Each structure stands twice: as structure tokens, then as C-alpha cells.
Structure 1
Amino acid sequence: MALTEQELLAAIAGVTDPHTGKDFVSTRALRNVQISAGDVAFDVELGYPARSLIPALRSQFIAAAKAAPGVQNVSVNITSKVTAHAVQRGVQLLPGVKNIVAVASGKGGVGKSTTAANLALALAAEGARVGVLDADIYGPSQPMMLGISGRPESFDGKNMEPLVNHGVQVMSIGFLVEQDQAMIWRGPMATQALEQLLRQTNWKDLDYLIVDMPPGTGDIQLTLSQRVPITGAVIVTTPQDIALIDARKGITMFEKVNVPILGLVENMAQHVCSNCGHVEHIFGADGGKKMAAEYGIDYLGALPLARQIREQADSGRPTVVADPDGEVAQIYKHVAREVAVKIALKSKDFSSKFPTISVSKST
């Protein structure tokens, strides 16, 4: 008897998404099923970038399909399609940007900028189009971390072209001022400058724009949370009690402005001696994990207090680029995939699909 599509789908349904635990048939990720005698072909569309997962997934699909009666040859095409997802009510999406992820902390010095840079690079490594906005007007660090210098070009005298390195589009006030120049601006001036950096940059078809937020919950943070279409926020903290106190304030701020928390990253969770391998929790143990459980938010992962993370970021080649197959880079990539999956599971944005109604004297 000829193989039916139902029989093939029943065999494939045993393959599940390693991040969501759901099968690809019931979630309608399977497309264009074709059956010709013993040859079958189908497409699988993921809602998040997953270049590193494709080889293993393809092998699983082939093995599952060949378990169906009569199947000899299997062709599987796995792709990723990132779409725009819902943001705060009443805030319009930014042209050229599908999803904006704010990386925030209530306190400085917890590794937020390093996390933002590596998160962006990890998403790009998985096949996404990614940008970074350095929102720290007073202390921009992304130009150094991402190894970029120079001035943005403007072809129309109004909008700026983002600078690019490591496959990531970047904009920062650090490109527009001298490195040692202090930005002695009051809150409204800094906020206006940040909005210009965000809206007057020609972002080019980004799946994700990672915003490296300044520490704290002041004017700039509140303005970003209320006026910028943020898909979700990632909170960065250390296990130390004094850092957790401020991280709680960041979580509360995003909750009040209806920005969902995608998860929490615990930085400097432990130190491993480079000489003897002894593990020591310098800033305390599991403080971030406990706080995530308390607030009911996802614990995305823990990063060690490691010299190479600092050295690689200072050199303009963050860990994901400098040591892509290393243990720390794998943690960053895991965090990035978790963030992308959480976004993919959110409601899609349909604002651009509504018609525009024009009213004139003749209507």
C-alpha cells in the first residue's frame, strides 16, 4: 500500500523541539509535505534562529520518517523565520526592527554590557540579523567591546548608518564623541539623544535589536520602557545580595510598564581557579536563581567569574567570537536560544496588517 500523509506525519510527530518539548506536527511547523513512492520531502520552519541545531534535527527527522512503511529516501529542509511579536500597548514597532530586547540591571558592574554583547553575537551565530544599541549615554562601552571605531555615515544628512563588526549592526554615542569626553547632560538631554540614536539609525532588517540599557531605573530607563517597542527584557545580576536588591527594582519597573521579563542571567556565579580548579562562590551562591524562582521568571543560565571573559571583551572580541566552541560561549549561546524561543512563543504583532483609513472632504 502507498504511504499516506497521515502515516508519515504520525511517524514524524515523535520528533520534538529540544527547547519547547513540543512536536513539529501539532505546532504546524511542518510544511510542503510531498510523497512519491518511497521518496518523501518536507520543510520545517522554526520561529527562532537555530543554525547549530539543524544538523541534529535533520538526522532525527530522517530517522523518524524512515520508520514509516515504505520510506526509502527523505529530504528535509529546515529554516528559521523570525517574526515581529507583541510589544507594549500603543507603541508602534520601529522600522527595520522586528524585536527589541532590553538587557538591564538595577546596578552597574554586574556584567550587563558583556552579556548584551555576547547575547547579540550568539544570536547572530545562530543565523539571525542582529543589532546592538548602546543605550548608556554616560558610559558607552559597546564600541570597545565589539571592536568598532569611527564615525557613522549619513547619506541624507538626517539618518545615520550603523557601524558593523562581527556581523552585528551597532550604534552608540561613543561613535559621536571623543573617548575621554564626559557627557555632562541632564536627564531630558540624554533621553533625547538616546531616542535620536534609536530612531535616526537606518537599522537594516533586524530580527533582534539588543539594547544595552544603562544601570538603574531613572529617566532614560523609564523613557525607553514607555516609548520604545520592547518585546521583552533580560535581567542581569550577580548572586550578591546588594546586586539582587537593585535587580528587584529593575524587574518591578518593567512589570509596571507591561514589558515582559524573558529571564534572568546570573553573572559571576562562581570562580574556578585557573591553577588548581578549585570552585569558589565569591559573590554568594544561587542568589539569582532563588530570586528568579521568587518572581516566577525563567533562570536563563549562570556565567562564571573568569578572566578570559573580561580580556576578550576588552580586546573587542567577546567570548562568543574569540572562543566560539568553548564552555563559556556555549552558555551564552544557550541563553540566546532560550531568549529567542521565549520571543517566538509570544503573540505576534499584527499592527502592520491593519488598513490605514484616509479621511478627506470627498469621503
Structure 2
Amino acid sequence: MPTISLTDIRLFLLRIVRPLDPFLLIITLAIMACTYLVMLSASPERMGAHLTNVVVALTVMWIVAAQPPQRLNNFALPLYVLGVLLLIGVALFGDVSKGARRWLDLKVMRIQPSELMKIAMPLMLAWYFQKREGSLKVRDFLVAMLLLVVPVGLIAKQPDLGTAILVLGAGFFVIFFAGLSWKLIIPTGLIGIIGIVAVIAYQSEICAPQVKWPGLHDYQKHRICTLLDPSTDPLGKGFHTIQSTIAVGSGGFLGKGWRNGTQTHLDFLPERHTDFILAVISEEFGLAGVLIISILYCLLIARGLMIANNASNLFARLLAGSVTMIFFTYAFVNMGMVSGILPVVGVPLPMVSYGGTALVTLCLGIGILMSIRQSRRRR
């Protein structure tokens, strides 16, 4: 019977640890440790399912981290095509739940194809720009925009505005890092600012019930209007915003203490374990708790951008940059939504909110960053 020596054990452990980036791993585990405390307070009955999601997500992260970026490159086009076909399938045959057609029943399993596009989109665009490296023209950026608009439009049609924003952000960051001209970005930004100012200035007129907003569903218009004045529907669309801001404001600097949040434990705070878990952190741990989470996100983003800057080729740089900024988009939109400065669009707080699909997707993104870092280290 063969014996196992300490050297064999050491080599086995080294093989497991080698693909992982220590700095990213420590930050990820630190965020998950904070999540454990908050989840025990916000929704202790879901801890078993949450820990299972964490194990699955970390396993996916390790598997992806062990793959070379060249292999990820090979999956870019098939994943994108599969994602678009599945989104078309959702539009034609998808299951309707709570007024939205987002799920596709494959008999064997029930999937939400829009989640696939959060990773498939930046993979596809990074692959596309690498193919045209050194000879980029304006038409290449137009084609990239078309590749982005098709899945975003299909997702927004479901309707799923939150996921559409995340996929749009993931794709836009690739296009931006590929060299999109500021001459196109600045005018678009100015138009957006003018539109926001106009909505605020003429709120009473354009928020009237009989006014239809082109391109948006009635409930999306209602969310924006109640964001501007939640008191117009305090027990309906404005309820989430009102209760969340009360929880955020009542926490002060150090909070009320773990498991002592009144908004949380008296059931005033809706979706406290998912989209509004930041309000639980703010109420029980105060501004100090929010700052700790924010600093961890900043460290993660800084490390991701460093990996992108040092990547060995254009595909890896664009992919690492976009994946990193996905974390920024998640955190920014969720924090803005919870604090009442952005409309409620159903975007979770990255790696903190309860939910297996989002957690696995984000850990897959961290695995991609580790894969790119490991490839650079080998070189």
C-alpha cells in the first residue's frame, strides 16, 4: 500500500492554492464573513442555503481560476450565441412570473438566461476587439454597440431593467477600455444629465397618470416618479425607499447593535436579505459598517484594475477591466437604490445579498481575474 509523504501533501495543497490570487481571495472571504454576520441577523432561516451557495460559488471560482485565459477566449463566441438564442427562447416560450417573462423551462431545469450574459457579454466583446487589434475603426465600435444592444434589448423587454443595466455596463466598459472616443461619450453624458434635470424640473407634469413614457413600462415610470417623491405612494412603490432611508438614517455612526435593528426585526424593511441588505448593515452597524464594506469593495476594484493593467494581451486587459467594473456597477447601483438616490431596480449588493445565481456569477468573475493574474505570473 503506497504511503503519502508530507511532500506529497504539500504538492497537493500547492496545486490547489496556486491558481488563487491571495489578495483577491482575502478580500472575497472578508466580504463573505461580513455577509455571514448580517445574514444571521436579517434572515437566519436561510443560512443553510446561503452557505451552500457560498461553497458552490467558491468552487466555481477555483475552477475558472485554474483555466488559462486562452481557454476563456475560445468560449467567448459560443457562450454569446447560446445566450442570445436562450434570450430569444425566453421571449417566445418563457415562463411568466409576477408579470415578467424571465425564465426558460428546459424540462430538466429552469434557467434565467439573462444571468449568463453578465459574463458572456464582456467575453464576446473582448474577443471581438482582440481580433481587430491594431486596426480598429469607427465601424468596429458600431458593430460592438450592435452586439451589446441586442441582448440588452431582449433583457429589457422581459422586463428586467436591473439585469439589463448590469449587462449594458459590462459591455460598455469593454468598449470604453478598447478606446471609445470621448467625443462620443461626452455628448451622450450631457444628454443624460439634461434628461435627468428635465424630469426633476417637470416632475408634476410628466408623472401624471395619463402621461406615457416611451420605451418604459408603467411600473418603471412609477418607480422613477416615486423616487423623486416617495410620499406620493407611501404604501406602494414608495414603501421600499421610505423604509430603507429610515433604516439607513437611524443607524447613526456605530449603529444600534447586531440583531437590534428595529426596521429589520419588526418587518418594516422589505427584501432585507436581498436587495436591501445594506439597510440592515447601516441600521445595525451604522456608517462604520457601511464604510468597512465600501473599503473592501474599493480594494477589490483596485486589485482588479491592477490585474487588468498588467495583463499580457488585449483580450485579458479588456476582460479583466470589464469584470472589475461589474463589481463597481453592482455596488454603486445597489447603494444608490438603498439610500434613495436611484430607483429600485432589483440589483443585489455584490457577494452580500442572498441569492445563489448572482453569487456564483460574481465569484466566476473573480475566478477570471485570478486566471488572468496567474497567466501573467507564469510569463
TM bucket, shorter chain: under 0.3
TM-score, length of structure 2 as denominator length: 0.26
Higher relative contact order (CA 8 A, sep 6+): 2
TM-score, length of structure 1 as denominator length: 0.26
Higher strand share: 1
Higher helix share: 2
